[in-house]
Amino acid sequence: MSALLEISGIGKSFGAVRVLSGISLAVSEGETLGLIGPNGAGKTTLFNVVTGFLRADAGQVRFAGAPVDRLPPAERAARGLVRTFQKAMVFPALSLRESLAMAARQRAGQGLRWLGARACHQESAARVERLLAESGLARHGGERMADLSYGEQRIADLLMALALEPRLLLLDEPTAGLSQAEAERLLGIVRRHDARTAIVLIAHDIDIVFNHCDRIAVMHLGQLLRTGTPQAVRQDAAVRAAYLGSLAD
Ligand SMILES: Nc1ncnc2c1ncn2[C@@H]1O[C@H](COP(=O)(O)OP(=O)(O)OP(=O)(O)O)[C@@H](O)[C@H]1O
């Protein structure tokens, strides 16, 4: 089976500082890949390159069999390449339901334009109610985003990304600041929504990454140090020296 996302030879510098160097990585449909490494290793920069928020100096990004390097972020998202941000980008005064409807209408408008405005509206409204039900947040649908608890806001960020019906979801520290139980709940929502969605998960919570990911990629100083199963990565001497060892101390 060919990979859904193929990154090859990605390089990126900011001025004289080389932040990414020769990064090659593939992600398959339905796979959950953890992306870990020390602060400043280049994880978020790689997300920015993959989703089109930054242009790489070298290398190529292919999604669903086609190069996407020249596409802006919105067009990549329309193809199913969707991300979340470390800092949520929500409208605090809108209700949860209104926020989700905005994202769902964007998606329905792209995919179902030929059906007409009424059908798009019905389709997106149904999608919103489904997301609210799946996440257990249905009773909070009418609350302003700003009035949700921190944990609920993190779930709301995730639901806005899911409303775009991603084929690949890049999650940048979605579990930061959450309890273990809240983090488990959040990741469970993605899997329940659609088991075929591929996930790339940046997280500093090593237990979450090792428990939830099929494979783990370890970055260090802008390079990919190792990619492998959780067991292989955990036992790898270079990974322990660069990252995991310091966490165990
Ligand atoms: N726009 C920018 N201009 C200059 N330097 C940048 C820019 N964005 C990131 N960097 C630098 O690139 C390096 C990698 O940063 P990046 O945020 O990708 O790392 P990270 O692995 O995601 O770190 P963290 O785990 O702390 O989020 C850091 O040294 C950072 O200071």
Report pLDDT for 36.
Answer: 95
Task: State the closest ligand 1 atom to the C-alpha of 42, by its place in the atom list counted from 1.
Answer: 18
Three-state SS at 228: strand
Query: How many H-runs (helices) and E-runs (strands) does the chain carry?
Result: 10, 10
Q: pLDDT digits over 118-143, tens only?
A: 666 777 888 899 999 999 999 999 99
Report pLDDT for 249.
Answer: 47
Tell me what the mean pLDDT of segment 161-167 comes to: 92
- Cα gap 233→238, rounded to integer Å: 9
pLDDT exceeds 70 at position 108 = no
Structure tokens at 11: 């390089």
Among 14, 218, 223, 243, residue to substitute to test ligand 1 (most atoms within 8 Å of Cβ): 14
Give the CA dihedral 166, 167, 172, 173, nearest 10 degrees. Answer: 90
Delineate the domains of the chain, giving CATH numbers in brackets: 5-248 (3.40.50.300)
242 CA distance to ligand 1 centroid (A)? 17
Task: State the closest ligand 1 atom to the C-alpha of 173, by its place in the atom list counted from 1.
Answer: 27
Report pLDDT for 122.
Answer: 76
Residues having CB closer than 6 A to ligand 1 are: 14, 19, 37, 39-45
**CA-proximal residue: ligand 1, atom 30 (nearest):** 40
101 CA distance to ligand 1 centroid (A)? 32
Task: State the closest ligand 1 atom to the C-alpha of 222, by its place in the atom list counted from 1.
Answer: 14
- Cα gap 187→55, rounded to integer Å: 29
Report pLDDT for 57.
Answer: 96
42 CA distance to ligand 1 centroid (A)? 6
Contact 92, 112 (CB under 8 A): no
**CA-proximal residue: ligand 1, atom 29 (nearest):** 40
Provide the whole-model pTM.
0.90
pLDDT exceeds 90 at position 65 = yes
Task: State the closest ligand 1 atom to the C-alpha of 37, by its place in the atom list counted from 1.
Answer: 21
CA torsion through residues 27, 33, 37, 41, sign: positive
pLDDT band for position 248 (cuts 50, 70, 90): low
Tell me what the mean pLDDT of segment 20-28 comes to: 97
Task: State the closest ligand 1 atom to the C-alpha of 86, by its place in the atom list counted from 1.
Answer: 27
171 CA distance to ligand 1 centroid (A)? 16
Share of the chain above pLDDT 70, in %: 91
